[in-house]
Chains A and B, each alone.
Chain A
C-alpha cells in the first residue's frame, strides 16, 4: 500500500477511535457506499457508529498487517511487548480490526493479555463487545471474551458494592436478548445466556437467584411462544425448568407471574384426557399435595413424614403438565414445527422420570430396575416407615406395575389423542413422536 493510503487509513482509524470514545454506543455497522467522495467514512447517528464500505478493505488490511507485523510475530522483542508505551497503539489498531472481522481468536487473545495486565477498563470492554455483537450476532469469540472479562472482574474485586452482580446479570441478559432477536437459531447467544444463569447460581449469596430463575422462566415462556421453530431457545427453556427452585416458599408468586393456576391445570388435564377418570374431588388449593399424589400414583401415603418429597414431586408434575398443555396448544396452532415436537419429547421424558423417581426405580439399558441406593439414602428411607414400606412394596411387585398408575394412563391417553389429531393434519412428526415413545421409552407394551 502506498503512503497516500496509509495516511488516509491513519486518519480514519483515529476518527473511529474518537467516535468509539463517545457514549453510549449501541450499534456498529458497515454501510454499502461506493463513491469515495472527499468526506469522512465514519458515520455517527443516534448512538450508532458505522463505516462506509469502500474504506473497509484498506482499513482492515492496514490494521491487521501492522498488528501482526509489529505486535504478534515477535513476542520476545521488547517493542512488541504490551507496555504502557505500546498499549494505546495496539488498541487503536485492534478496535477497527475486530469490529470489521471479529472471528480472529488471536486478536481477542491479545485483548485478553491487555485486560489481564490491567490496561483496559472492563466497562468499556463490555460496551465494545456489545458493538461487535450488534453486527456479528453469532460471534462466539466475542461472547467468550465477555465471559473472560466478567470472570476477571469478579476475581479483581473481592469487595463488591451491593448491585454489582445484578447489574452484570442484567447487562448479559440484555445482550443475549438483542443478539437472539437479530438472528434466529443463535446458538452462541443462548449458550451465553445459559452461562449467565450458571453465573447467577454461583453468586447466589449476592443476589436473589430464585427470583432471577423465576424471571428467566417467565421470559423464555414468552419468547418461545414467538419463536416456535428455534430449538436453541427451547433448549434454554429446558435449562430454566431444571433451575426452578421448586421448594421455595415463593412458589405462589411464581404462579402469579405465569398467570396460571397450575393446580387447576392438572385437574383440567386429567378430566380432558379421560372423562371416566373424573376426580370426585376438585384439586383446589386447600387439597393437600399428598392427596394429589395419592390420586395420580394410586398410592396413599397417609401420615408420611417425608413431606418434601411429595411437595417436590407435586410441583414437578404441575409445571410439566403446564408445559405439556402449552405445547399441545402450540402444535395445533403453528403446525409442523419440529422444534415443538422435540420439546414435547423432553417434557414427556421428564414426566416419566419423575414417575420412576417417585417409585425409586430407574431405567437402565432400556429396562426398569430398582434404584441402587447408597447406605445413607437407604437409612433415611427406612427412618420413615411408610417410605421404607413403599420401597419394599415396589420391590416385591413386577416393575411394570408402575405403568398402571393413573398418571401414566392419563399421559398416554393424552399423547395418543395429540398424535391422532396431528396425523389428521398430515404432520409427519406425529408418527415419529409415537415411535419415540414406543422405542426410546420402551412403552410399546403399555401403549
Chain B
C-alpha cells in the first residue's frame, strides 16, 4: 500500500523532543485501537527525533512501516510515518516542504515552548490527504534540489537507531508518555506481531 499514516512537526530540545503539531490517518485500524496507535506514533516520533543528529535525515524501516525523519540544523524536526511502498525521496521532499511552511508561519521563538494547542499551523491534515498519492508530491521534487545535499541514512530496523544496549521494550516500559492501555497494547501486538509499529 502506498499510504501515509502520520505527519508530525517536532522540536528537538536539549534532553527531549516536543510535539508541535501532528495529523493522523488511522482509518485502517480498528476503532478501539486508534487511540493507542496514535499515542504510539507520537511516542515513536519523539524517540526517533531525540536520536537523530541535527542536520540529518533518516529512513527507518520497521516491519511494514517506514519512518522518515528530518532534523534541521535549527532543531526543528519533522516525521512522516508511511508504509514501505511510499517512495523515500518523495517523503523527504514532503517533510522538507512542511518544515519550510512551518517556519514561515510560526516564529522561531515559539518553538522551544510550543504545545499542540497553541501552535497555529493547520495545513497538516490537508497535506496528509493530498499527498497520499505520491505523484502529487513528485511535482515538488522537481523544484526542490536541496534534498541531494544531505544524504538520507537508511536503517533496516529501529534497533539501529537506538543507542547501544538500549532496548525498545525498556524504552516503552520506562516512558511516561504512554498510557497503561497503550503499553499493554504494545505488548500484545509484539506477541502477535501485527497491527503495531513494532
Chain A positions within 8 Å of B, measured between CB atoms, are 27, 29, 31-34, 43, 45-46, 48, 50, 53, 134-135, 181-182, 184, 226-230, 333-335, 337
Contact = CB atoms under 8 A, between A and B. Distances in A.
Given A34-B180, A43-B32, A228-B85, 18 more contacts: A29-B30, A29-B32, A32-B184, A32-B185, A34-B184, A48-B32, A181-B1, A226-B1, A226-B2, A226-B132, A227-B2, A227-B85, A229-B84, A229-B85, A230-B1, A333-B135, A333-B138, A334-B87
B interface, by DSSP: helix, strand, loop or mixed?
Answer: loop
Contacts of B32: 29, 31, 43, 45, 48, 50
Interface in B82-109: 83-85, 87
Interface in B1-50: 1-3, 28, 30-33
24 contacts: A27-B30, A27-B31, A29-B30, A29-B33, A31-B33, A32-B181, A32-B185, A32-B187, A32-B188, A33-B184, A34-B184, A48-B30, A53-B188, A135-B30, A182-B28, A184-B64, A184-B83, A227-B85, A229-B84, A230-B1, A333-B87, A333-B134, A333-B135, A337-B85
B177 interface: no
Query: Lowest 8 CB-CB distances: which A-B pairs, in order?
Result: A29-B30, A32-B188, A32-B184, A226-B2, A31-B32, A48-B31, A29-B32, A50-B32
Interface in B154-198: 180-181, 184-185, 187-188
B110 interface: no
B29 to A, nearest CB: 9
Contacts of B2: 226-228, 334
A interface, by DSSP: helix, strand, loop or mixed?
Answer: mixed
Given A32-B181, A226-B3, A228-B2, A181 B28 contact: yes
A211 to B, nearest CB: 26
Contacts of B33: 29, 31
A182 to B, nearest CB: 6
B133 interface: yes
A34 to B, nearest CB: 6
Interface string B131-159: 01111001000000000000000000000
Range, interface on chain B: 20 to 34
Contacts of B133: 226
Given A32-B181, A184-B64, A226-B133, A134 B187 contact: no
Contacts of A46: 31
A27 B87 CA distance: 32
Contacts of A135: 30
Contacts of B30: 27, 29, 48, 50, 134-135
Nearest to A26: B31
Contacts of A27: 30-31
Contacts of A230: 1
A334 B138 CA distance: 11
Contacts of B28: 181-182
A228 B134 CA distance: 12
Contacts of B185: 32
Given A50-B32, A333-B87, A184 B188 contact: no
A334 B187 contact: no
Contacts of A134: 30
A34 B185 CA distance: 10
B127 to A, nearest CB: 17
B87 to A, nearest CB: 6
A134 B33 CA distance: 13
A184 B2 CA distance: 11
A333 B134 CA distance: 9
B153 to A, nearest CB: 19
Contacts of A229: 84-85
Contacts of B187: 32
Contacts of A337: 85
A135 to B, nearest CB: 7
A31 to B, nearest CB: 5
Contacts of A333: 87, 134-135, 138
A27 B32 CA distance: 10
Contacts of B1: 181, 184, 226-227, 230
B160 to A, nearest CB: 21
A402 B60 CA distance: 51
Nearest to B195: A182
A334 B181 contact: no
Contacts of B138: 333
Contacts of A33: 181, 184
Nearest to B83: A184
Nearest to B36: A32
Nearest to B194: A183
Contacts of B135: 333
A333 to B, nearest CB: 7
A227 B33 CA distance: 24
B181 A335 contact: no
A226 B131 CA distance: 12
A254 B48 CA distance: 48
A186 to B, nearest CB: 11
A226 B1 CA distance: 6
Nearest to A50: B32
A43 B180 CA distance: 18
B27 to A, nearest CB: 8
A335 B134 CA distance: 13
A436 to B, nearest CB: 23
A27 B187 CA distance: 22
A335 B132 CA distance: 18
Interface in B103-133: 132-133
B67 to A, nearest CB: 18
B6 to A, nearest CB: 17
Nearest to B184: A32
Nearest to B191: A32
Contacts of A334: 2, 85, 87
